[in-house]
Each structure stands twice: as structure tokens, then as C-alpha cells.
Amino acid sequence: MDFMSGVTRVGAEWFPPAASCLSRPYKMAPACTNSFSCNGRVSEGGVTMTRFFGTPAGVKAGQFFIDRRELHEAFVHRPTQAGISGTKLEGSDSIVISGGYVGDEDNGDYIIYSGHGGKDPNSTRQIADQSRDAPGNAGLITSHAEALPVRVVRGKHKGSPFAPPAGYVYSGLYLVTQWWMEMRPDGFQIIRFRLERIDEQVPLEPQSLNLPDPEFATTIVSRRIRDSQLAREVKKLYDYECQVCEQAIPTSNNAFYAEGAHVRPLGRPHLGHDALSNILCLCPNHHSQFDLGGLVLTDQMEAIETRTMTPFASLSFRKNHVVAASNAGYHRALWLGARGMSSDLRLLQPTA
């Protein structure tokens, strides 16, 4: 007996993620073509992927799934019961919103989501505090720190105008933008996460006329969406210390914040590469100064303030990392040329 008889399914076939992708410190995932890097482990047999970031190939935002097993098989959400997939080390790659915790909010473009834990397995009532060390919760904290994309799935439940009338809908990618511990009225501590939508291609079903204005959220994430796996590796290599000022910005959870800055910009018309030789680890201020042309680099990786054309710092580099002079030269020509000044490299050599 087919338990799915009578149910219309959309795109029920699942496709294994295809092509090559970057891996984290564990084994390479078989395949992935999404715009983000993907991670995963391969079992001894070499087939089972357990962690995968981004949207799997062949899956679209808005796609319907009849139950948790289908989500599992499509690599959209691997756990068959738990709401959060992930670990502290790897980060969390997906969540399911099913209204299982009071106080959650679903505003479409942003979500307030409770962590897991502290529930009586028999009564589904909260009987204990939640912990930031539970695997899924710690994973979402890691995803926040690393700006990893989180797949969001909505299940049928009351309280969300975006929830499907039955089954589950894959709702695309979100970023964790905040987390905090919260004391509930019943005296139990829970952990809460704010997630903001980062792929806008597929509109959510408009269920009310006054949708929240997503402009601010999209502005925040527009730079982070480009945070490639390589950029994350560079940040880790430098312990999140800016290569210009050597400052690391402390955040919560004993973590730090930095940004991966592409020297020759990606995309048209610049066509820079997402490669280690084209990425710097910078604090937000120097990243902005660099991207806005207030700072250029000599071939010797001296930082020049373009307002006064004076060197003010020598970039620090760590082992096995070099930025190609050609990329620095491209960036230099981009900004000095645009100001009608000579981009002749000789003018930027430090005078001995």
C-alpha cells in the first residue's frame, strides 16, 4: 500500500548534489552546485552525506514535501524528528518550523526560532532549561558566527501565515543574525535565534496585505551572502584579526568577527577569482575603506590611504597565504584610475 496515494507531489524526485565543492576539515562531500560552499562527510561506503550547506541541486524554494522522510531523502533536512540539524563543530545546516515551542514568530523574511531541549519526551511539555551546548543549538550558534546558510522548512502549524496546510515546504536559505537566552514565564530558560532570509527569488505566499519591509534585512546580509568557504578559511587563518590594524572584534560566545575581503572584485565586470590569493581578512572598517577606494595596496602589500596618498600600515600575512600583486594592481587601477590619478605602479613603491 502506497502511503502517499492520493497526494499530489511536486518534484518528488531528489537529485544528489552535483559537481565539486569546497570542503571543511573533514572529507569532501560528493557533490554540490549551489552558490554557497557545501560541507559533508562521506561514510565508509562512500555514499552517505551527513552535512550539506545550501540548497541541494534539484530542490527549489517553495517545493512541497509530504513528510519528514521525504525531507530526509532529499537532503533538505536529515533528522527525521529533531527540528535542528547540525553540530557545534560543523554548524547547523537546516531547521524545521513546526510550532513546537511557544513564543516563536514567523514573519516570513525573519523568524524567531527556539532551540531544542528541556522537553519531557512523553508529554512534550517543557520540564528543564535548554542549553546552548545541545548539538543543534550549538550548531546554530556556529552558523551565526560563520555566516553559514541555513535551510528553513515550514511544517503545518497554527500561528504562521506562511505554514503550509499540510506536509512541509522548503522555504529557502536564511542566516542566523542573533541568538540569546530567554527566561520564559514558566521559569525555564530557552535559547532563541533570529534568522533572516537571504534568497529573495521565490516570494513567500502573501498571506496579509502589510508584509514587513525586508529592506533592512537584505541590506545586512547582502555582503555576507558572498562569504565563501575560502573567505571563512582566511578569517580562521588570521584568528579574525584584521590584516591592516590587527584588531579582532570580540562578539558573543567567546567568538570574533571579521570579513573576507576580495581584492579584485568578483562578478562583472571585474571577474576576480574566489581564491586565497584574492582574499584578505579585514575588520568591517578597513573592508569598507578598501571596497570604497579609500585604501589601496602596493605590490609589497603596503596600505596607502588614497586621500593623502601616504602609506599607513604594512599588511600582516600568516603562513601559506599571499595575495597576488596582480590583484592588488587591479584594485589600485580601479580606484586610482577612477579618480583620474595615475595607477602607475612605480608611483606607489615605497620610497627607500
Q: Which residues bind DNA (CB under 7 A)?
A: 3, 48, 50-51, 67-69, 72, 78-87, 96-101, 104, 113-114, 116-119, 121-123, 134-136, 155, 157
Q: Which is nearer to DNA, 71 or 258 (CB)?
A: 71
Residue 23 CB, shortest distance to DNA, in Å, is 16
Q: Which three cell numbers stand for residue 49?
A: 552525506
Residue 136 CB, shortest distance to DNA, in Å, is 7
Q: Which is nearer to DNA, 2 or 13 (CB)?
A: 2
Q: Which is nearer to DNA, 171 or 278 (CB)?
A: 171
Residue 22 CB, shortest distance to DNA, in Å, is 19
Taking residue 15's Cβ as centre, other Cβ atoms within 10 Å add up to 14
Q: Which three cell numbers stand for residue 73?
A: 531523502
Q: Which is nearer to DNA, 123 or 219 (CB)?
A: 123
Query: What is the DSSP-derived secondary structure letter of residue 161?
Result: T
User: Which three-class secondary structure string do you get for 72-125?
Assistant: HHCCCCCCCCCCEEEECCCEEEEEEECCCCCCCEECCCEEEEECCCCECCCCCC
Q: Please tell me the distance from the alpha carbon of residue 261 to that of residue 291, in angstroms, as a whole number.
A: 8
Q: Which is nearer to DNA, 92 or 343 (CB)?
A: 92
Q: Which three cell numbers stand for residue 177?
A: 543574525
Q: Which is nearer to DNA, 139 or 329 (CB)?
A: 139
Q: What is the DSSP string of 220-282?
A: HHHHHTT--HHHHHHHHHTTT--TTT---EE-STT-EE-EEEESSPSSTTT----SGGGEEEE
Residue 184 CB, shortest distance to DNA, in Å, is 13
Closest CA to 193 of 301, 272, 123, 106: 106
Residue 27 CB, shortest distance to DNA, in Å, is 13
Q: Which amino acid is at 150?
A: V
Close Cβ partners of 79 (under 8 Å, ≥ 6 residues apart)? 68, 72, 85
Q: Would you call the peptide bond into 269 cis, given omega within 30 degrees of 0 as the criterion?
A: yes
Q: Which is nearer to DNA, 174 or 330 (CB)?
A: 174
Residue 252 CB, shortest distance to DNA, in Å, is 20
Residue 312 CB, shortest distance to DNA, in Å, is 46
Residue 331 CB, shortest distance to DNA, in Å, is 40
Q: Which is nearer to DNA, 155 or 260 (CB)?
A: 155
- Compute the chain's Rg from CA coordinates: 23
Q: Please tell me the distance from the alpha carbon of residue 67 to that of residue 12, in angstroms, as a whole number.
A: 11
